A and B are shown apart, each in its own frame.
Chain A
């Protein structure tokens, strides 16, 4: 069975500084990996995904994530954080067979301080 760990419940970063939100995964096979963002009282919004190919994936709002197979990680990054990036971030994984639904991590709350 696949699983996702987001080791940090909360990440605080100053506006303008780079941010990283960590994610590690466990699957018995090759993964599809995703990042979603949730703003208050809203549904989850898709940010980016890794299916195959280049390990560095670029997504919406200037976010990117790097797939590291040896470390089974898929950390979310942004070079310069904005206050408006403050939200709840979820990492998710499915098997690349495409036949298993997404399994989500517990989420990391990002707070960007002006």
Chain B
């Protein structure tokens, strides 16, 4: 059963610390998305990649967030330094095209205290 795998599932960290979230997309999917979910803002697109190349990261605060795909089986989202307002659930999703259905991982719940 193919699925998107995200680690860790939960992360509690102190303000100022670096946080790295990892995602293994479904094998064969060429598009990877990072979304953030909060009660206030709902689901926000942070960044997405096609064939490992970043296409748009305009949804991310550039000064502290960075997203990469070191290889086709791994996508990372890094926050440095983290702030309490970054507390949210971060979802990775993958798909076969930018505008087609995306398949979501179970998310990383980040709490910055």
- Hey, which bits of chain A sit against chain B, CB under 8 A? 32, 34, 36, 41-46, 49, 90, 94-107
Contacts and interface: CB of A to CB of B under 8 A. Distances in A.
A106 to B, nearest CB: 4
Given A101-B33, A107-B42, A49 B101 contact: yes
B70 interface: no
A100 B104 contact: no
A32 B104 contact: no
Interface centre among B33, B102, B103, B105 (most CB of A within 10 A): B102
B91 A102 contact: no
Contacts of B42: 104-107
Contacts, number: 59
B106 interface: yes
Contacts of B67: none
Interface string B34-49: 0100000011010010
A101 to B, nearest CB: 5
Nearest to A100: B99
Contacts of B48: 101
Contact of B45 (A45, A101, A106): A101
B25 interface: no
Contact of B98 (A98, A104, A106): A98
B84 interface: no
Given A103-B45, A104-B43, A106-B42, A43 B4 contact: yes
Nearest to A99: B98
Most chain B CB neighbours (cut-off 10 Å) among A44, A45, A97, A105: A44
Contacts of B2: none
A65 B93 CA distance: 23
Given A44-B104, A101-B33, A107-B42, A94 B99 contact: yes
